[in-house]
């Protein structure tokens, strides 16, 4: 109410909020439309074995290609998609597309690698999620073993029902990885109790690994705990050979990062499959 807020003051700070809200509403609207119209694609980033230096898997990362707004990065729209639950139909499309690609690569005779798919806590909380996963894998004719689900720590910490869903995912045959590990609020030692197959060390620890002894100590601790728990360890955000070498010397077996490859369209990583086949 203009009068109650004293006229002039109202105008001084309200427009900012109004603009932001409007932007949000517009973006939400565009997001909804884009899911219907299919303005999304997936790119794939290789995961490499750090000693053999060959492909060990790929991670699917969603891209929003808006005809007028251009390319909008996931960090700009995934949080909004989560808040508005648009992540449910979008996430369904992402899993289906990754499965379709897995089946396509298999048809082409590429030596099969596991495809990792990121899944939001919001998706995990969806009461339909198990039925959705079963239906997609059945319809796309993909074995669950070929898919890895990447979840963040919040998915594990929050509620018992979510843990049960994670356990179901593993019993079904899919792999589970904990993404951005080390950035959550919990202590590392709890990884022993997590129903997972792998942990992905967050790139913030990798970034300064060559100069920061602290980061190296943290990675060493994560590797030691993961080893006792029988979890595979993948380091994210490797940008230099030096980082790859140090990580390998700390016992980290797998890595991912711009040094090996940025996320690329599916056709651009197909040569890696043949490289992999040659090394086997
Ligand atoms: P994430 O799952 O932890 O993925 C890693 C992000 O780091 C990706 O950004 C990747 O392009 C980037 N990255 C990889 N290597 C390097 C490197 O060497 N240096 C640097 N600086 N960055 C590197 P992207 O694709 O922009 O995705 C950001 C985040 O958005 C993802 O983090 C994930 O949390 C979310 N996201 C992306 N795709 C999906 C999806 O399909 N579903 C869901 N639910 N979330 C997704
Ligand atoms: Mg990820
Ligand atoms: Mg990550
Ligand atoms: Mg992330």
What local confidence, expressed as pLDDT, does residue 157 receive?
Answer: 74
Q: Quick one: average pLDDT of 22-50?
A: 95
Q: Which residue has the tokens 């590392």?
A: 188
Q: Is 79 in the pocket of ligand 1 (CB under 6 A)?
A: no
Answer yes or no: are the C-beta atoms of 142 and 103 closer than 8 Å: yes
Q: How many CA atoms lie within 13 A of 80 on its CB side?
A: 18
pLDDT band at 278 (very low <50, low <70, confident <90, very high): low
Answer yes or no: are the C-beta atoms of 209 and 216 closer than 8 Å: yes
pLDDT band at 192 (very low <50, low <70, confident <90, very high): confident
ipTM: 0.98
Return the ligand 1 atom nearest residue 179 CA: 3
Q: Which residue has the tokens 């720590």?
A: 153
Whether the predicted pLDDT of 266 surpasses 70:
yes
pLDDT band at 6 (very low <50, low <70, confident <90, very high): very low
CA 42 – ligand 4 centroid, Å? 16
Whether the predicted pLDDT of 67 surpasses 80:
yes
Ligand at minimal distance from the CA of 257 is 1
What local confidence, expressed as pLDDT, does residue 35 receive?
Answer: 98
Q: Is 39 helix (H, G, I), strand (E, B) or coil?
A: coil
Using a cut of 0.90, tell me whether the model's pTM lies above it: yes
C-alpha angle 26-30-34 in degrees, rounded to nearest 5: 175
Q: Which residue has the tokens 């920061």?
A: 212
- Which residue out of 45, 61, 209 has the highest number of ligand 1 atoms within 8 Å of its CB and is therefore the one to mutate? 61
Q: Quick one: average pLDDT of 11-35?
A: 81
CA 10 – ligand 3 centroid, Å? 42
Torsions phi, psi of 273, nearest 5? -65, -40
Q: Which two tokens stand for residue 18?
A: 């109004």
């Amino acid at each position: 109410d203009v009068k109650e807020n004293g006229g002039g003051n109202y105008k001084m700070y309200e427009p900012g909020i109004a603009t932001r809200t409007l932007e949000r509403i517009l973006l939400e609207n565009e997001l909804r439309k884009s899911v219907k119209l299919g303005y999304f694609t997936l790119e794939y980033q290789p995961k490499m074995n750090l000693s053999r230096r060959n492909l060990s898997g790929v991670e699917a990362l969603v891209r929003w290609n808006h005809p007028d707004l251009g390319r909008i990065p996931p960090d700009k729209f995934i949080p909004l998609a989560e808040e508005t639950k648009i992540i449910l139909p979008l996430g369904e499309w992402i899993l289906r597309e990754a499965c379709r690609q897995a089946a396509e690569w298999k048809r082409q005779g590429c030596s099969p690698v596991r495809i990792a798919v990121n899944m939001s806590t919001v998706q995990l909380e969806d009461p339909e999620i198990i039925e959705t996963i079963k239906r997609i894998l059945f319809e796309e004719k993909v074995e669950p073993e070929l898919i890895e689900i990447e979840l963040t720590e919040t998915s594990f910490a929050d509620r018992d029902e979510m843990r049960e869903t994670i356990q179901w995912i593993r019993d079904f045959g899919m792999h589970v990885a904990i993404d951005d590990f080390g950035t959550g609020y919990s202590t590392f030692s709890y990884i022993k109790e997590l129903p997972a197959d792998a942990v992905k060390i967050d790139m913030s620890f990798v970034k300064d690994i060559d100069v920061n002894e602290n980061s190296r100590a943290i990675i060493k601790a994560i590797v030691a705990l993961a080893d006792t728990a029988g979890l595979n360890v993948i380091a994210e955000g490797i940008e230099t050979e030096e980082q790859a070498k140090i990580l390998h010397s700390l016992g980290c077996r797998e890595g991912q990062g711009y040094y090996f490859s940025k996320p690329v369209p599916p056709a651009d990583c197909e040569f890696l499959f043949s490289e992999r086949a040659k090394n086997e």
